[in-house]
């Protein structure tokens, strides 16, 4: 099954949503601990690695 490519608007929406959720987590938590920072970094990896691979694959197809 072929993978669908993400459009620029989909990438922007995912990035904005992740940023808003991280802001809410930091703004409304009583204190910022190592665990909070760890989960933000882990979620960033989960969100941005597939986006990076998708964009990199899109650029290599054009060459």
pLDDT for 6 beyond 70: yes
Grouping H, G, I as helix, E, B as strand and the rest as coil, residue 11 is helix
CA gap 15, 9 in Å, rounded: 10
Digit-coded pLDDT (tens) for 7-61: 999 999 999 999 999 999 999 999 999 999 999 999 999 999 999 999 888 777 6
Q: Report yes or no: 50 and 10 within 8 Å, Cβ to Cβ.
A: no
């Amino acid at each position: 099954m072929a993978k669908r490519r993400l459009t620029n608007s989909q990438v922007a929406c995912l990035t904005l949503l992740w940023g808003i959720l991280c802001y809410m987590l930091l703004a409304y938590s009583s204190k910022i601990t190592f665990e909070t920072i760890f989960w933000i970094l882990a979620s960033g990896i989960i969100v941005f690695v597939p986006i990076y691979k998708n964009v990199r694959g899109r650029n290599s197809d054009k060459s």
